[in-house]
Structure 1
Amino acid sequence: MTFENKLQKIHDASMGLLAKSGIRYPSPTALDIFKKHGADVEGDIVRIDESTLMKYIGKAPARFTIEARNPKYNVDMGGGGHYAVPAYGSPYVEDFTGETRYSTLKDFIYFLKQIEALDDFHINGGILCQPNEYEAGVVTLLMWYAILRGSEKVLFCPAGNEKETRTMMEMACNLFGGRDEFRRSAKTVYLVDSVSPLQMDARTVDVIRVLAEYRQPFSFTSGVITGLTGPVTLAGAIAVGNAEILSGIALAQMIEEGTPAIYGIPVSGADMRTSRAVFGAPEMCIGIRYAAKLAKFYGLPSRGPAAISDAAYPSQQCAFESMMTMSACFNEGLDFLLHTAGCQDSFNSMSPQKFAVDVELFRRMNYLDRDIAVDEDSLAVALTMETGHGGNYLTCDHTLANFKKSLYIPQIGLRYSSDFDNEFDAQITKFLKKNIKKYAVPNMEAHDISGLRSTAAASGLPEEFMDAVERLLEERFETI
Structure 2
Amino acid sequence: MARRKSTTGARARQGNAAGIGAAPPSPYLQRRLAFFDPLDDATLAQLEAQVDWLMQDIGIAFRDDPKALEVWRKAGARIDGDRVRMEAAQVRALCKTAPRQFTQIARNRTRDVVIGGGNQVFAPIYGAPFVRDLQQGRRYGDLDSLEKLIKLTYMLPNLHHGGLVICEPCDVPVSKRHLDMLYLHMTCSDKPHLGAITEQSRAQDSVDMAEIIFGREVMDQNCVIMGNVNTNSPLLVDKVVTQAIETYCSRGQGIVVVPFILSGAMGPVSTAASVT
What TM bracket, shorter-length normalisation? 0.7 to 0.9
Return the offset for 1:88.
1.1
Q: TM-score normalised to the size of structure 2? A: 0.82
Paired AA for residue 73 in structure 1: R
Are 2:227 and 2:244, in contact at CA under 8 Å, matched by a contact in 1?
no
Contact 1:140 1:159 in 2 (8 A): no
| Rounded Cα–Cα distance in structure 2 between residues aligned with 1:10 and 1:21 | 15
State percent identity of aligned pairs. 26
What is the distance in 2 between the residues matched to 1:215 and 1:6?
37
Residue 20 of structure 1 aligns with an amino acid whose one-letter code is D
Specify the alignment match of 1:9 in structure 2: 46
What aligned pairs does 1:80-479 form with structure 2 within 5 A after superposition?
Answer: 80-97=118-135, 99-178=137-216, 180-239=217-276
Shift in Å at residue 2 of structure 1? Answer: 5.4
Aligned residues: 238
The answer on whether the counterparts of 2:196 and 2:206 sit within 8 Å (CA) in structure 1 is no
SS for the counterpart of 1:25 is strand
- 1:58 maps to amino acid: K
Q: 1:65 aligns with which of 77, 96, 103?
A: 103
- Say whether 1:23 aligns with 2:60: yes
**Per-residue CA shift, 1:80-119, capped at 9, x if unaligned?**
2322201111111112226111111110000111111222
Compare the two structures and name the one with the higher strand fraction: 2
SS in structure 1 at match of 2:99: coil
Distance 1:82 1:2 in 2: 22
Q: Give the counterpart letter for 1:29 in structure 2.
A: K
For residues 98 and 135 of structure 1, do their structure 2 counterparts lie closer, same or farther at Cα, with a shift above 3 Å needed?
closer
The 2-side partners of 1:127 and 1:6 are apart by 37
Distance of 1:2 and 1:102 partners within structure 2 = 41
Q: Cα distance 1:30–1:120, how it changes in 2: closer, same or farther (>3 A)? A: same
Q: Give the Å deviation of 1:156.
A: 2.1
Contact 1:126 / 1:159 at 8 angstroms: preserved in 2? Answer: no
Amino acid corresponding to residue 184 of structure 1 in structure 2: Q
1:56 shift after superposition: 0.7
Structure 2: stretches of 5+ with no match in the other structure: 1-37
Q: In the alignment, is the contact (CA less than 8 A) between 1:23 and 1:45 conserved in 2?
A: yes
* Aligned partner of residue 123 in structure 1, secondary structure: coil
The equivalent residue for 2:93 is 55
Q: Please identify runs of 4+ aligned residues in structure 1 that moved more than 3 A.
A: none
- Which residue does the alignment assign to 2:70? 32
Q: 1:79 to 1:231 in 2, by over 3 A?
A: closer
Give the distance between the partners of 1:81 and 1:38, measured in 2 at CA.
33
CA shift for structure 1 position 37: 0.8
SS in 2 for 1:13: helix
The answer to whether the Cα contact below 8 Å between 2:226 and 2:248 also exists between their aligned partners in 1 is no
1:197 and 1:223 in contact (8 A); partners too:
no
Q: What letter is aligned with 2:198?
A: G
Shift of 1:238: 1.3
| Alpha-carbon distance in 1 for matches of 2:128, 2:265 | 22
Instruction: Tell me, in whole angstroms, the C-alpha distance in 2 between the residues paired with 1:122 and 1:214.
Output: 24
Q: Which has the higher helix share?
A: 1
TM-score by length of 1: 0.48
Q: Is the 8 A contact 1:157 1:190 kept in 2?
A: yes
